[in-house]
Amino acid sequence: MGRLIIILLCLATPALAQDRMTADEFAAYVAGKTLTFGSPVDDFYGVERYDDDRRVTWQADGGDCIEGEWYEDDGDICFLYENDPEPKCWAVYRTQTGIRAEFTTRPGTTLFEARENPEPLICPGPDLIG
């Protein structure tokens, strides 16, 4: 019985690897959406709005909004945000409940699409000096 389980797991592994999204698939999935992401330890990690032109706006836990853009690099979906010269790259997978992203820049972080937000992203303006 143990051998059967091992054989089935080996056969399933290529199928799991094939669900990684290409840049075109990712673009088609996220364009025009605002998605909330969670992690295995926190239901709320942040919210990101995806524009049709591969521009994004990220907001972590109700904080400031950060503008950026995404692009494909060697199969990863990478994000480059204003005021941060280091790209943040992810292996993105399509799941039955949305997308799963595994951080490849510094492995160890996995995010899950928690839900699509029907409301627009609200970005507070900078503090007024007065």
Contact 63, 78 (CB under 8 A): no
Q: Coil, helix or strand for 26?
A: helix
Q: What is the pLDDT of residue 4?
A: 31
In the chain the domains, ranked by start, together with CATH numbers, are 18-114 (2.40.128)
Number of helices (H), then strands (E), in the chain: 2, 8
pTM of the predicted protein model: 0.78
- Give the span between the Cα atoms of 55 and 36, in whole angstroms: 16
User: pLDDT tens digits for the chain (130 residues)?
Assistant: 433 333 333 334 444 444 899 999 999 999 999 999 998 888 888 999 999 899 999 998 778 899 999 999 999 999 999 989 999 999 999 998 899 999 998 888 899 998 888 787 888 765 544 4
Contact 73, 90 (CB under 8 A): no
Amino acid residing at 10: C
- Give the span between the Cα atoms of 47 and 56, in whole angstroms: 10
Amino acid residing at 86: E
